[in-house]
Amino acid sequence: MGLPRNPNSRSADYLDGMLGESGKSSKWRPQKSTSARLVTLLTCLQFAFAVYATFLLYYMSPSIDLRTPKPDFAWASRIAQQWKHYIIPPHVVTRYQESASNLVLEPQPMISTPSEVCEHEKIEFEQKKSNDALMIKIKRELYDQVRDFQAKNSGTESLTELMSMKSKWDMSSPQKTPKVTVILNHFKRKTLCSQLDSLLHQTLPFHHVWVLSFGSPNELGLKRIVESYNDTRISFISSSYDFKYYGRFQMALQTEADLVYILDDDMIPGTKMLQILSHVAGTDKYKNSVLGSIGRILPFRQKDFTFPSYRKFRSKEAGLYLPDPAYDITVDKIVQVDFLSSSWFLSAELVKTLFIETPFTFMTGEDLHLRYVSQ
């Protein structure tokens, strides 16, 4: 009978055989120790950066109470400064810094001031007065008849009476202060600066000013003037195509304001113009009206369905131009006319009525067409 072999001794002999082959045990053990140390080191570094990032995010969070003493992360900054040279080569950083310096040092275009780019043109508002006593008498009598008729049927008010009327836009609160978009249409006249200076001193500040240049040979000059004012409320809109007289009304369709004031380039509004016109437009009586400064009363139609010229010599049927200093006609009360000229003040909703019907032509006649569709 043989003695049974101890399993432990068998395992020990087997292990000694494996370790004893070719001296492999002396090489394998140090390699395993080096790899373990490297993995441990990388894991510790990763954990350290994770802890640093966690504290950094917590410190930068908007929910942190800034009244508490700020933790000192100078040690982390020092480590980052030492390590960045191992991540980004120094010559790369220097090249980026030089590029950034070149970008900063590039000269920027200078913005001109209005005094440097503005051009002025004197508009002669004074008209040659007529010395024909009979013609003056005829025009005055016609004007008096028109005013008396309107006073009897609808009532006419002076400026003081108009401003005392109850208005939706009395400026007593922000809710009762209207937004007004002013549209200036320019071609060749040198009056833009005078218009903008007047609008910037209005007792009722404007909401927006749109300077239009449609097919104007002076487009670049107009653009420089608008840019020189450096006001975000003043915009320049141009096109090489000339949209004629309807273009400004087509632009008015885009406004988000309550009221629109459209001006020809020969109209310089007074500093209280926006306030007065807005107040009148907010009254129940004139809320659906188009307001302005210059108006025409058409001549009386003749039997042959023609209209005589306004300047027809000594003709009472030739109509009226209001106001008309040539015949000593001044307007001291509001007057209803057949159509307005040179300026139009109306609600943004009322602008849409101009395009309810297609005009006979888009070349001219926008003032007559507006009167036709708004009656």
pLDDT digits 0-9 by tens, 54-65: 766 766 665 544
CA of 43: how far to CAs of 38, 77, 187, in Å? 9, 21, 75
Q: Name the region of 70 (left: φ>0; alpha: ψ -120 to 50; beta: rest).
A: beta
Give the residue from 149, 168, 114 showing the smallest Cα distance to 285: 168
Q: What is the pLDDT of residues 258-272, one digit of tens each?
A: 999 999 999 999 999
Nearest to 212 by CA among 248, 266, 260: 248
* Sign of the four-CA dihedral 133, 134, 137, 142: negative
Question: Can you give the pLDDT at residue 131?
Answer: 84
pLDDT at 78 over 60: yes
Asked if residues 296 and 322 have their Cβ atoms less than 8 Å apart, the reply is: yes
> pTM here?
0.69
**Annotated domain spans of the chain:** 131-161+295-340, 169-293+342-351
By the 8 A CB rule, do 253 and 351 touch?
yes
Average pLDDT over residues 245-259: 95
The predicted pLDDT at position 39 comes to 80
Tokens of 42: 């990388």
157 pLDDT above the threshold of 70: yes
Second-level CATH architecture of 169-293+342-351:
Alpha-Beta Complex (3.90)
